Chains A and B, each alone.
Chain A
Amino acid sequence: MSLLLALILSPLFLGIIVRTKAFFAGRKGQPLLQFYYDLVKLLRKGVVYSSSTTLVFRLSPWLALATVGTALFILPLPGYSGWISFPGDFFVLFSLLGVLRFSLVCSALDTGSSFEGMGASREMFISFLAEPALLLSFLVLAFGLEGYTLKEILSHPFSIGAGRTVALYFISVSLLIVLLAENSRIPFDDPNTHLELTMIHEVMVLDHSGPDLAGILYSSALKLWILGSLWVGISIPVRWGIFYIDVLVFLGSMGLLAVIIGIIESILARVRMIRVSHALSLATVLAGLALLWTIG
């Protein structure tokens, strides 16, 4: 179920973000379903390969889709079990996202373009700072809840104990920062910019075209959905125990998250590249504080 929802609705999630931003900018905005149209359009196009690229470049979109698809099997609907569930499964989930990034970075380096090289180095720099915060957050939760599968962590995060709920707030903020950074949203990156020199994620896929680009865009949308549903699972712990109501609550929460992201993007300007590390250190520090709170 979680798999199907992600596959079907992740482009819509992006659509809601864009519409929220348009609202704040005083514009009407593109149709909610625009990303679906874009994907269909790209799938019908041909592919252009630069003569300097190799097999790595051609494989990367499909490797990206494959890793993200595998990750979806692990991702549970909050309160329920994923298709695959075992103690420590969140490590595998995050590693799969790491492989996704690895494949994109490889393909960017493969083009030999100075822009793409810069983008790759920035992407690695950001994820290198974001990953500790992400892992630390989930370790804290796992220890606090004494459950080591995603199902157990996301089922009842507030059963962590009355004195420890503050830790959850810290983790929630920390995860939101990581979510924005990992998915190249403002204030870390600007998905809409046309300025190559300031791009991070966008510049890495400049040379991809047609179905390849569709694959990459789709896997990015899925990645945003995965991190988004983890955030929702922890920050909005409303569980009825009735499956269909829980699904509706989850979808409502995802919609809310999209609006929140849209608002953040509207009221903040991008930070300077050099200050990205400060913002991400904040995420790690918050996760560290949560750890102290849980232990103490």
Chain B
Amino acid sequence: MYLKLYFPSFQRYFREWGVSEMRNGESIALKDLPYLEFLRFKTVLQDAVRTGNRILGLWAVPSGKEYSMFGAILYPSTQSVEILHSTVEKTYPSLTLDLPCLHWFERDLSERFGMIPQEHPWLKPIRFYKGEVGKVEFFQVMGEEVHEVAVGPVHAGVIEPGHFRFQCYGEKVFHLEISLGYQHRGVERALTNGPNERSIHYAETLAGDTTIGHTTAYALLMEGLSGLLPSLHSEWIRAISLELERLANHIGDIGALSGDIGFLPTQSYCGRIRGDVLNLTALLCGNRFGRSLVRPGGVRYTIERERLDILRGKLREIENDTISAIELFFETPSVRARLEGTGIVPTDVARELGLVGVAARASGIPMDIRKDLPWGFFRIQSPSVGVHPSGDCYARAFLRWVEIQESFRFLHRITESFPEESSMKETFPSIDSGTRTYPFLLPDTLGIGITEGWRGEIFHVAATDREGKFAWYRVFDPSFHNWIGLAYAMRGGEISDFPLCNKSFNLSYCGHDL
């Protein structure tokens, strides 16, 4: 009894001693990472989750016959990340049984390396089945009156490919299984042995609608590994562009939700307003999606007084349009009736499944990397975090509206004045002026970069080899955490609610497949 009580704190002491707690965008030498026995590794993860912290990711790297396994824990109270390191054999006892949020991660491990988490409750690949996409042995419900509905991978709208298999009883859905992998491009593999001229472009296209979010995470990671220090001015521009990206996507999402329920006015207005916001990003850097804006060490484009005034003026106009379009949406009783109670993910389930971002906040979990693990400009100022407790489509829609308003407020506030106008020159990373477009990285070091994209937390983690090249690079898009949430939301729901639920999550296919 005594031992049991004493042991965890003892362990904790040792880990702190090992200096493995990191801030966002810091790096740590691989040899300084404390090594934990697998059982301790597991206990630490369990303790962290039990005390209200979250697991950012679980991944492994083959080393010889064994596998180095890594886990990352986010401690919101201290605004720090802890990287755990252990070694496992090809067959190891599954973590999912005690930590359901790792379910998808372990399936990913088994798919990548053929590792076998023993007693994993639902072990099968998440993208490829026997090396092929889409040949999944679906979970099936048997019975005379049960029927199966297959949707995709080619859809009626212009969206990414993914296959959905419903087990239905009449209109009721017993189970939905989502089969992805059609968008696999091998980006993570392409990033290893980097950075090179191509790396930044891979980072920008990890998920096309989250260019700023992913590129900023990449830049953070690179800055941690190279010691580049971006100026406050460039951090300011990154913050502006990230919030513009959030605005554009959230407004577009509410418009799309409106279209799905046949409510035309908001649909067409939001579609137009989304374009207006994208044009503001174009005003900033010449590209509507923010490509070639963020670079390790800074940003490539700055904004002078005149354009800032234009941006501020347009932002006001856009805000007024948005308010009238979206308030109409939420004030219409038939809209609320349609959204409320559809696709519910209760708080405890959302926590257990490890949902992130908008989906988690709409289920009543206050998490936001801008608060929990601030980086760059968000260390100085950050928007407040909204939460909605009900976890249904209404919550996910309304939370987007709350975040839209908060982003507008935040943008108005931070564009009131230039921070440190004198630092304008440093905005352009020096590495960009020469032939080399990427910095030298510290050898044998692990770096992290975490941002809050509009969907949720984006986690980049990489380690360099002896020559300062990426030995491996892992990306966890919010979609990777949240697809299982969509499947859960459909349980016991009506099949005609699926498009609405799907849109309320609006997850990325390519961000998951990578």
Where the two chains meet, the residues of A that have a C-beta atom closer than 8 Å to any C-beta of B are 21, 24-27, 114-115, 117-118, 121-122, 186-187, 190, 192-198, 265-275
Contacts and interface: CB of A to CB of B under 8 A. Distances in A.
A272 B497 contact: yes
Interface stretch (B37-45, B278-286, B334-342): B334-342
B323 interface: no
A196 B147 contact: no
Q: Looking at chain B, what size class is its interface with the partner chain? A: 20 to 34
A266 B334 contact: no
Interface string B475-514: 0000000000000000000111111100000000000000
Given A187-B262, A197-B498, A269 B156 contact: no
B265 A26 contact: yes
Interface string B330-354: 0010110110001000000000000
Nearest to A193: B262
A190 B150 CA distance: 21
Contacts of B494: 272-274
Contact of A195 (B147, B260, B337, B342): B260
Nearest to A194: B156
Given A115-B149, A197-B495, A27 B268 contact: yes
B510 to A, nearest CB: 21
B334 A273 contact: no
Given A193-B262, A195-B260, A269 B332 contact: yes
Nearest to A268: B334
Interface string B123-158: 000000000000000000000000111110000110
Contacts of A21: 264
A192 B267 CA distance: 13
Contacts of B264: 21, 24-25, 265-266
Given A114-B147, A194-B157, A197-B151, A273 B496 contact: yes
A192 B342 CA distance: 22
Interface in B244-277: 258, 260-265, 267-269, 272
B317 interface: no
A197 B157 CA distance: 12
A272 B342 contact: yes
Contact of A114 (B149, B272, B498): B149
Contact of A271 (B157, B260, B269, B337): B337
B171 interface: yes
Contact of B338 (A114, A192, A266, A269): A269
B496 to A, nearest CB: 4
A25 B268 CA distance: 6
A114 B146 CA distance: 12
A208 B150 CA distance: 20
B265 A24 contact: yes
A185 to B, nearest CB: 10
Contacts of B262: 186-187, 190, 192-193, 265, 268-270
A278 B261 CA distance: 18
A196 B151 contact: yes
Nearest to A274: B494
A182 to B, nearest CB: 17
B150 A197 contact: no
Contacts of A275: 337
A273 B171 CA distance: 9
A24 B332 CA distance: 15
A63 B150 CA distance: 30
Contact of A267 (B149, B332, B495, B500): B332
Contact of A197 (B265, B267, B342, B496): B496
Contacts of B147: 114, 117
Contact of A26 (B157, B258, B263, B269): B269
A193 to B, nearest CB: 7
Contact of B149 (A118, A268, A274): A118
Contacts of B151: 196-197
A269 B334 contact: yes
A192 B268 CA distance: 14
